[in-house]
Amino acid sequence: MKPRFYQKLDETLFEGELDNGLKIFVIPKKGFSMKYAFFAARYGGCDRRFKLGGRWVDTPAGIAHFLEHKMFDMPDYNAFSVMTARGAWPNAFTAYGMTGYLFSCTDAFDECLRTMLDYVSTPYFTEESVQKEQGIIGQEIRMNENNPNRVVIQNLFKALFKSHPARESIIGTMESISRITAQTLYDCHRIFYSPSNMVLCCSGDIDPDRVAAIAQQEVAAPAGEAPERDYGQEEGPLPDRVRIEASMEVAQPLFACGSKVSFLEDPREWTKLLFAAGLGCELLAGEASSLYADMYSSGLINKTFGIGTMSLPRSAVAIANGRCAEPMRVVERLSEAAERFEIGPEEEALFIRLKKTAIGNFLAGLDSVENLCHTHAEGYFNGCLPFEYLDIINEIKAEDAAAFIRSAFALPKLSVSIVNPLSGRPAV
């Protein structure tokens, strides 16, 4: 494991790579009682179509999430039960572009690390267990379909994108998961859980060389062929649909409006754009902005209103959402403000405060072993490690954020998703 010292942060990152391609990052935190490990695959809800061995393969929506659910079952033990019995807190999640397995503990770190690496690397599925899981995940799907907060965001993605797989829910549909078999899971595990497609990140009062030695012993699979991923046709800046509506049991309309953020191939520039986008969203209509204050004081929005960005594989989305009586009026106010947005003394002062807050939040995250592991996995998959973020944030100018505002919230680029009350009038 080779150390890399970041003087500005007073942090050391240990980095290594096994012969089979597994990347390892360890961030030691001397004196910390909590230890954390994160084992992640670059495989998420959007990785449904890929090319392997010269052949294109299509898989059902929800399969990455389904596979994550099944990985805790081993032929002779349940990994979750074993790790909790040792006093650890294991968990897992599936995002749009990543699946992660994790645990935190104060004792028995080596034993828990061995167990996690073992069960994530060892697929074990039967048709009977797959059918049982289809019922369990089916309940989760029905809950999501009845959750207006999830529906309003998923419908926004359906309106924004023509072909990007983010149009479909990460957990899939009842129809899509019915097509998942044990063999499908084995195939996807072999392809995407290859060591060369994964990263292990650990932090706490731990020995980097010890982590690497355990990984060398437990992750024995050879490097696999890297699949070519297909995230759909080039989208372009305009949405597929301007507006999409649904009716559900809500007391007041829910809305989400947003636009697509065009992907940049350079990892550092893409990271810089996402930071500038986040600052831009806050500058336009965050809680410290004059627009937010005006809309809130007039009763147009309430405390449910929020604005920010969401990153996706080879894309991102700028989103404003909340509950209010007049969703379209909020959209109009946002687009009108964005169209005439300029950096004056008031905006410059707010930008400086927002930038200092972003830097403060970044520095505070250095004391979280969980944050360190997750951001290093995400950064590795995206091509830009988080200890570079401080320099990137410092480079961003107010006009960078203003340019994003004028582009992202221009009316022609916006889609609007609304969930209306069942018995109420359509949103105005």
The Cα angle at residue 214 between residues 211 and 218, in degrees rounded to 5? 135
Distance CA 380, CA 267 (A): 10
**CB 47 within 8 Å of CB 192:** yes
DSSP run (H or E) holding 322: strand 315-323
Q: Catalytic pick from 11, 15, 68, 234?
A: 68
Q: How many CB atoms lie within 10 A of CB 127?
A: 10
Instruction: List residues bridging with 243 in a β-sheet.
Output: 416
Q: How many CB atoms lie within 10 A of CB 7?
A: 6
Question: Identity (one letter) of the amino acid at 147?
Answer: N
Distance CA 268, CA 270 (A): 5
DSSP, res 78: B
**CB 50 within 8 Å of CB 34:** no
Question: Identity (one letter) of the amino acid at 24?
Answer: I
Distance CA 48, CA 56 (A): 10
**CB 324 within 8 Å of CB 299:** no
Please return the burial class of 1, using the count of CB atoms within 10 Å of its CB with bins 0-12, 13-18 and 19+. Answer: middle
Distance CA 351, CA 345 (A): 10
Distance CA 6, CA 77 (A): 42
Helical residues (DSSP H) of 206-326, grouped into ranges: 208-218, 267-285, 290-297
Question: Identity (one letter) of the amino acid at 183?
Answer: Q
Q: What is the Cβ-side half-sphere exposure of residue 299, based on CA atoms within 13 angstroms?
A: 1
- For CA atoms 102, 120, 26, 95, give the dihedral sign: negative
Question: Identity (one letter) of the amino acid at 242?
Answer: V
Q: Indicate if 68 belongs to the active site.
A: yes
Choose among 317, 308, 313: nearest CA to 382. 313
Helix (H, G, I), strand (E, B), or coil: what is residue 296? Answer: helix
- For CA atoms 276, 271, 331, 355, give the dihedral sign: negative
Catalytic residues: 68
